[in-house]
Amino acid sequence: MKKYKAFTSIEAISFARTVPNLFLQDAILTSEEIDTGNSNVVFRIKDNDTGNSILFKQALPNVNVVDEPLQIPVEHTRIENDALSIQANYCPDLVPNVLYVDNDLSITVMGDYNDKIMMRTGLMSGGQYPLFPDHISTFLANTHFFTSDLGMNQQKKKKLQQSFVNPERCKITEELTFENPYYDAPENNIEAGLREAAQRIWKNTSLQYEVALLREGFLTHTQALLHGNLHTGNIFVTEETTKVIAPEFAFFGPIGFDIGAVFAHLLLNAAGQSHWSKTAEECVYAQEHIFAMIIEIWCGFEQQFRNLWNTRGVDRLSKTPGYQNDFMQRLLKDTFGYTGCNMLRHVIGMSEVADLETITNAKKRINAKHRALHTAEQLILHHRKATSIVDLILFARSAMGTTVNI
């Protein structure tokens, strides 16, 4: 077993030369650091003559997301790559091509996707991605159905769950999504103009009751293998293609959490469109475009999930008349609630998103955050009453008109 060490850019090049069939032996290689997050470092290694490039990703042993560094076992590289392998079985065109893995050193070498843009960045600059709703609904339907008790032998699923016990990563999500935003946690990053709204949330026992129910689902409902961190920063797109990356938070949990994460980040972008759009008319157009995407994603997901259930389902009792409709209604309600929780954590928690944080005009930034908070509160408070995806859009459309005087 090799001893773990963090690689420099030069060391990453040396490592890449040892991987079979990546580069010619005498290739002139350069390395560019393209991401140093809390948990990983990523280098793009390029052959200057051919232009071919790969991504070298290494997990870091510490994740400094709170005041005290949280030790993360480097095993989460194995979890990420196992998740990518499963996802590739069902959606090979929608995930990166893994070329080489070294679990001891927490290194993954994968095909580059430098022809694509991070979806968050693209949306902030006015990009539109007409095939994205079909791509992401396909990803959600297939990866969740075939790792659930509906599409997988129950005993096989239980064995697979053992490989995705991910307590350290889940602890991060539990604290940042279901705990810290609901009291005056020292880790929270709250702008002065939001302090009063945050205090209102901390005192709202009705809201916290609904969050407690959603947290219970996150902790106990092992419906399917989730990506676990499915936001627009982990999705790379062009107008024709989509890649879903970085499932290092993968675990077995409630399907609505993944769907809700996608919707939450789309709505966070919509809340910031008063800044990202040049005119009021463009702002409304951009928001309505996002709302239409959400409806298209849900409808595409539901249609594909039901079709898989009807044609590939392995559980006899799940075909009892009425059960499928009941399941899908419960899933819709979960999606509403987890959308709200995922939005709220990025406004009064510590996980800021560029859609809001990079708005330079303080008044517009605070108002955008208020719109996001108001949307999140409504979705959480009313999630158990949801009957249609249109309800989500009605709440969001109403909340996007929220402004405050500062």
**Of 339, 138, 379, which is closest to residue 256 (Cα–Cα)?**
339
Query: Using an 8 Å Cβ cutoff, are 325 and 333 in contact?
Result: no
CATH of the domain spanning 117-399: 3.90.1200.10
Place of tokens 């032998």: 153
Distance CA 96, CA 219 (A): 29
pLDDT of residue 313: 98
Fold of the domain built from segment(s) 9-111:
Phosphorylase Kinase; domain 1 (3.30.200)
| Residues in CB range of 294: below 8 A, 6 or more apart | 263, 266, 267, 389, 392, 393
pLDDT of residue 405: 46
**DSSP structural state of residue 180:** G
Q: List the structure tokens of 168.
A: 């350290």
- In the chain, which segments carry CATH 3.30.200.20? 9-111
Distance CA 399, CA 371 (A): 6
- In the chain, which segments carry CATH 3.90.1200.10? 117-399
pLDDT of residue 37: 64
**DSSP structural state of residue 193:** G
| Residues in CB range of 311: below 8 A, 6 or more apart | none
| Residues in CB range of 91: below 8 A, 6 or more apart | 138, 139, 142, 143, 244
Which 3 state secondary structure label does DSSP give 140?
helix
pLDDT of residue 40: 86
Average pLDDT over residues 248-267: 98
Q: List the structure tokens of 282.
A: 């463009």
**Of 159, 128, 138, which is closest to residue 304 (Cα–Cα)?**
138
How many C-alpha atoms does 160 have within 13 Å on its Cβ side?
23
Distance CA 192, CA 181 (A): 15
Query: Residue 79's pLDDT band (boundaries 50, 70, 90)?
Result: very high
Q: pLDDT of 123-169, one tens digit each?
A: 999 999 999 999 999 999 999 999 999 999 999 999 999 999 999 89
Q: In this predicted structure, which of 34-38, 112-116, 192-196, 334-338 has the lowest mean pLDDT?
A: 34-38
Q: pLDDT of 198-239, one tens digit each?
A: 999 999 999 999 999 999 999 999 999 999 999 999 999 999
Please give the mean pLDDT across all residues of the chain: 94
| Residues in CB range of 155: below 8 A, 6 or more apart | none
Q: pLDDT of 25-56, one tens digit each?
A: 899 999 999 876 667 899 999 999 999 999 99
Q: pLDDT of 320-340, one tens digit each?
A: 999 999 999 999 999 999 999
Average pLDDT over residues 61-87: 74
Please give the radius of gyration of the chain, using alpha carbons only, rounded to the nearest integer: 21
Query: How far, CA to CA in Å, does 94 sit from each of 91, 219, 223?
Result: 5, 28, 22
Residue 3 pLDDT exceeds 70: yes
